[in-house]
Chain A
């Protein structure tokens, strides 16, 4: 009897060993995303789930290094400005789509025209709205013509996924994507998973991981459980408080900036003293450590990450100085008055907690804070309301182009969708920068804009949040500042 039991145990151990070693061979990695793509057409929607998958199937004209620097990708070199409104792009030769269509100037021109076509109604239009048209000038060269000078065009080309002209007209294109990228599409079981496999004919460096499966799990606790159970190799948006539970985690300074927009034109915040006091009053370091367990950096008095174009190294965050805040509030004669602070709940990580923490700090500085948390749609009505601006509105700005223009046009510039100032000097700095094609001059203009907004304290700049990924022991990946999940950069032991 004992002998048999011994044999049985041995068999079990061998079984465990075999499955264990098969596992270690790392044929397939599984990635859990927060949401399922609704389409795999890379040009129609603005959707993180779709992007996570398609970033591996499609190539963009330009790419970024993990640190955020623009580099040529499908393009052989960086685009050249040949006229104030015309950029010349030269492509790499000998690249083909997974179905054999050639990737050439016609394909890029086609992709540009497809995404900017008003009838196509792409949700990504804000990334490409300055492009007027594109024209092939040779087999591998093309001109991109913009409405007036557009120095941000290279960043836009980093967003442009090139689609195959013939196959993309197929009605099934949205379910069967074909790109030039390092992975090719295998299958999509709606509601369950998407499978990709390594493109053995990839024009660039061959990726190490042979195949990838994407799973879609909205509930963060369930994603975490799947990682802990060994079902997943990588999960996105790991909550800061869970990092100690996972085998490994990677954190990278991300693209999201929570800020509070102050109304510079009317109400209690009209007074510069008050706006400065509101900045001094908030202990940003405590927010980063208390709410985000240290997975966030204090924003340095600007709506930009260090990796963004336009970041001003010389500007530092308003220090936490509650005494100074109290003093300024008293001097301005607004002690005990009420300030309205608008926020929403559940849209961004810890949004409500941040609003409530800030309200607490402001109360300590001697104000009464009327915190109003709205359902997201109603919140947006307040954020976009141009006629009656609230005293203070909490928002999280995200900038996927890594260029100051997008954030500044929306929040800094008078008349922008979320701006609460009518500062014409600031607006003209941003407008001039937008059409300044000299990189040095343009950067300088943004430095001035950052400085001006800082001096005027148009915002309370809170944090720059880090992206956190949970990973299995066998996966290696350093993360990227632009949050793209490029399987090609991952290795698996």
Chain B
């Protein structure tokens, strides 16, 4: 067990370091923040002076050594765009995205598992058809369009929910729903197909023949065995969302999360902030992966953590 954690942490560190170095090199190669930050009409002299003040005129290897030195202390420096420590911004925005993800994907899980099971009980039945049709619809609808549709219906027409922003529980409903629906659609399909597989196995038939209660067979034995792929997908959805896929929902609903901030940082060529965000996303991905391994072991004790 200890060996497992040790190995995963080392792997994780290598991944994080690799990602960070790649981002460092790429952002410095393709972009020029000074060009974007100063007004178009600024003179070359003004640009040069500004660049020097930011320390961006120095050779890249010197910048890199300094960057790595600061990285050890988790200090990325001041965001070029916001003029305050980049990590402060990340810690301010990340919780908002985590909240949105938790509610959105939580909703998807709560809905998807019962729906998927019911559909799987009678494949080809009307519940199944409706579920599959709904899922395909949910998968094909672009998220930004869905978000705007919700705003128009619930906020503009019926005026029962706010159009955008944060602050009260009612603010999170529409963005979380928008975020959760595509996840729900994917998840329902997976729960359904996994459960169909499981329900056709011999042990299920034996259990029913023994007279075990229906709920116990389906909800406990079959679902647990179908659980691994479902968990993998949920973990993947969470990772996706924290690593920036939340940007569409955050933009439409003006939700001040990390995805929206990442896009703004990229538009403004804010190397420092981009770096801090990518680093944090990498850490999240590694941690979630380790957590997933533990959960697998919990569901299926036969698995060996190596």
**Which residues of A does B touch, CB under 8 Å?**
35-36, 38-39, 44-46, 118-119, 121, 123, 125-126, 129, 174, 189-193, 215-219, 221-222, 225-226, 228-231, 376-377, 380-381, 383-384, 395, 397-398, 406-407, 409-411, 417-418
Contact = CB atoms under 8 A, between A and B. Distances in A.
B143 interface: no
Contacts of A222: 148, 151, 163-164, 252-254
Q: What 4 pairs between A and B have smallest CB-CB spacing?
A: A191-B256, A410-B41, A38-B82, A217-B254
A397 B148 contact: no
B253 to A, nearest CB: 7
B19 interface: no
Nearest to B44: A417
B83 A229 contact: no
Contacts of B155: 225-226, 229, 231
A130 B181 CA distance: 57
Contact of B256 (A192, A409, A418): A192
Contacts of A418: 40-41
A123 B251 CA distance: 27
B50 A380 contact: no
Interface in B29-82: 30-32, 35-44, 46, 49-50, 53-54, 79, 81-82
A386 to B, nearest CB: 8
A126 B166 contact: no
B152 A121 contact: no
B40 A192 contact: no
21 contacts: A38-B79, A38-B83, A45-B83, A46-B37, A121-B50, A191-B96, A191-B166, A192-B165, A218-B251, A219-B254, A221-B151, A222-B253, A226-B164, A228-B156, A229-B163, A231-B155, A231-B162, A377-B269, A380-B36, A417-B41, A417-B43
A397 B251 CA distance: 27
Contacts of B197: none
B92 interface: yes
B39 A46 contact: yes
Contacts of A190: 92, 256
A126 B43 contact: yes
Contacts of A221: 148, 151, 252
Nearest to A376: B36
A236 B162 CA distance: 19
Nearest to B269: A377
Interface residues of B, number: 47
A218 B41 contact: no
Nearest to A377: B31
Contacts of A38: 79, 81-84
Contact of B151 (A45, A125, A129, A225): A225
Contacts of B254: 215-219, 222
A233 to B, nearest CB: 14
A121 B54 CA distance: 9
Interface of B: 30-32, 35-44, 46, 49-50, 53-54, 79, 81-84, 92-93, 96, 148, 151-152, 155-156, 159, 162-167, 251-254, 256, 260, 264, 267, 269
Contact of B38 (A123, A229, A411): A123
B148 A129 contact: no
A351 to B, nearest CB: 13
Given A225-B152, A417-B42, 11 more contacts: A45-B83, A125-B49, A126-B42, A191-B93, A191-B256, A217-B165, A218-B264, A226-B163, A229-B162, A377-B269, A418-B41
Contact of B53 (A121, A189, A377): A121
Nearest to A399: B41
B41 A225 contact: no
Contacts of B81: 38
B97 to A, nearest CB: 11
A167 B267 CA distance: 33
Contacts of B37: 46, 123
A67 B299 CA distance: 72
Contacts of B251: 218-219
A121 B34 CA distance: 12
A417 B40 contact: yes
Contacts of A192: 165-167, 256
Contacts of B167: 189, 192
Nearest to B50: A121
Contacts of A45: 83
Contacts of A39: 82-84
Nearest to B33: A377
A218 B46 contact: no
A219 B252 contact: yes
Contacts of B152: 225
Contact of B39 (A121, A126, A217): A126
Nearest to A47: B81
Contacts of A228: 156
B151 to A, nearest CB: 5
B32 A377 contact: yes
